[in-house]
């Protein structure tokens, strides 16, 4: 479905120091630097997979996504998506993919959503029957009935993103690329988009590659993650395996009937937070069960919960390690 081998993308960009003198110098003598946005990245994604693409700003996530959708010509390496070479931008390829960018408007901005969808229908050559079926389903799943008659430009961010998703899916793409689809949305908006994407993937088996700064997007949708940093791939595998590999500790949160002295925790684990009678301990992964047993046996415990550290911390650990 998606095959990427030794992908590299380098940019040559103009560099100038701040200040008037540097500006004037720059008029005469231009200085350029090469930015290695992506460097020898390889992976494959099978049909129907939902894969999260993680990395800090400037890691190369969006650049990779743009190479996969044909927006950028790779500097080196080979990319195949649905059997096509993306940068050739063949019509047969473009009809089977969609890219939703959280910070961009793919719909006609000045038109009501319904008219903007009609434009997409014409551009993708969708027949009346399939168009109606797809539109009805998307209107239902995304709750768009009230929005169809409103100009896209006056919609709120969350409403606009729901319309963007509908516009991008009218032609039923086999591969959906999502670049920060919940950027700027409030908690409810994020949850609605995540629920929709999960449902859509279940119904249509679309392959989804998702980049997001919100770990909630990734944990809610993707079982597999690709972690990139400074243009190179640092990890490719199950989210659970990433957690196991990069977090030697688990968190044991114990709620006691009454606070106990700090010395109590010696030999059990490292207290991470102490909030009266609620204490969170970092415990070596292999000893978690044994420590929980000792806590229950030796202390006045009301409740014990065992969980992995937040994914954000694990990702930070991955990058720090790299």
Partner 1 sequence: MRDTLTAYRGLARGGTLVAVTYRGRLVLRVLTGFFPLLMMAVWLTVVAEGGPPAGWTAGDFLAYYAAATLVVNLSGDHVVWQWDADLRSGDLSLRLLRPLHPFHQYAAADLGQRAVTLVALGPALALAAVLSPALDYPVTPARLVAFAAALVLAYALGLLTASTFALLGFWSTQTANVWLLWWGLGSFASGWVAPLELLPPWLRTAALVLPFRSMMGFPVELLTGRLDGAQTAFGFAVGLGWLGVFALLYRFGWRRGVRRHQAVAG
By CB under 8 A, name the binding residues for partner 1. Answer: 11, 62, 66, 69-73, 89, 91-92, 94-95, 97-99, 101, 103-106, 108, 110-111, 115-116, 118-119, 121-125, 151, 179
Task: Please give the backbone phi and psi of residue 169, each rounded to the nearest 5 degrees, phi first.
Answer: -110, 0
Q: Which is nearer to partner 1, 39 or 236 (CB)?
A: 39
Strand order across the 50-54 sheet: 97-101, 175-179, 207-211, 50-54, 224-229, 232-238
Distance of closest approach, residue 250 Cβ to partner 1, in angstroms: 37
Q: Is-contact 265 280, C-beta < 8 A?
A: no
Distance of closest approach, residue 119 Cβ to partner 1, in angstroms: 4
Task: Please give the backbone phi and psi of residue 71, each rounded to the nearest 5 degrees, phi first.
Answer: -75, -30
Q: Which is nearer to partner 1, 177 or 235 (CB)?
A: 177
Q: Based on C-alpha coordinates, what's the Rg of the chain? A: 24
Distance of closest approach, residue 53 Cβ to partner 1, in angstroms: 14
Distance of closest approach, residue 122 Cβ to partner 1, in angstroms: 2
Which residue has 């968190």 as its token pair?
A: 251
Q: Which is nearer to partner 1, 29 or 88 (CB)?
A: 88
Q: Which is nearer to partner 1, 135 or 281 (CB)?
A: 135
197-207 residues labelled b (16+ CB within 10 A) or e (exposed): beebbeeeebb
Distance of closest approach, residue 125 Cβ to partner 1, in angstroms: 4
| Residue 259 DSSP one-character state | -
Distance of closest approach, residue 194 Cβ to partner 1, in angstroms: 21
Q: Which is nearer to partner 1, 12 or 29 (CB)?
A: 12
| Residue 287 DSSP one-character state | G
**Cα(81)–Cα(175) distance, rounded to whole angstroms?**
9
Strand order across the 2-15 sheet: 31-45, 2-15, 76-81
Q: Which is nearer to partner 1, 125 or 293 (CB)?
A: 125
Based on DSSP, count helices (H) and strands (E) in the chain, helices before strands: 11, 13
Distance of closest approach, residue 300 Cβ to partner 1, in angstroms: 54
3-state secondary structure at position 104: coil
Distance of closest approach, residue 222 Cβ to partner 1, in angstroms: 21
Q: Which is nearer to partner 1, 26 or 219 (CB)?
A: 26
120-129 residues labelled b (16+ CB within 10 A) or e (exposed): bbeebebeee
Which residue has 């969808």 as its token pair?
A: 117
**Cα(70)–Cα(90) distance, rounded to whole angstroms?**
9
Q: Is the dihedral of CA 79, 80, 81, 86 positive or negative?
A: positive
Q: Which is nearer to partner 1, 175 or 227 (CB)?
A: 175
């Amino acid at each position: 479905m998606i095959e990427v081998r030794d992908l590299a993308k380098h940019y040559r960009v103009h560099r100038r120091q701040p200040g008037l003198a540097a500006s004037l110098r720059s008029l005469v003598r231009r200085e350029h630097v090469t930015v290695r946005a992506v460097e020898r990245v390889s992976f494959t994604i099978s049909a129907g997979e939902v894969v999260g693409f993680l990395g800090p700003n400037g890691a190369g996530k969006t650049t990779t996504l743009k190479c996969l959708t044909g927006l950028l010509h790779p500097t080196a390496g080979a990319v195949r998506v649905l059997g096509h070479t993306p940068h050739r931008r063949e019509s047969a390829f473009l009809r089977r993919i969609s890219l939703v960018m959280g910070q961009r408007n793919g719909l006609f901005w000045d038109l009501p959503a319904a008219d903007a969808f009609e434009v997409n229908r014409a551009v993708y050559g969708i027949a009346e029957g399939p168009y109606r079926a797809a539109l009805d389903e998307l209107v239902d799943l995304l709750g768009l009935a009230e929005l169809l008659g409103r100009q896209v430009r006056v919609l709120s961010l969350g409403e606009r993103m729901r319309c963007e998703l509908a516009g991008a899916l009218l032609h039923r793409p086999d591969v959906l690329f999502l670049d920060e689809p919940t950027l700027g949305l409030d908690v409810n908006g994020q949850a609605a988009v995540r629920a929709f994407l999960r449902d859509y993937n279940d119904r249509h088996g679309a392959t989804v590659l998702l980049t997001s700064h919100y770990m909630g997007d990734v944990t809610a949708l993707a079982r597999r993650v690709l972690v990139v940093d400074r243009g190179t791939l640092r990890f490719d595998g199950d989210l659970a395996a990433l957690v196991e590999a990069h977090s030697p500790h688990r968190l044991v949160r114990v709620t006691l009937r009454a606070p106990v002295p700090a010395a109590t925790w010696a030999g059990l684990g490292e207290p991470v937070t102490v909030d009266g009678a609620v204490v969170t301990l970092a415990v070596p992964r292999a000893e978690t069960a044994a420590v929980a047993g000792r806590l229950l046996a030796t202390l006045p415990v009301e409740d014990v919960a065992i969980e992995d550290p937040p994914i954000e911390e694990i990702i930070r650990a991955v990058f720090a390690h790299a």
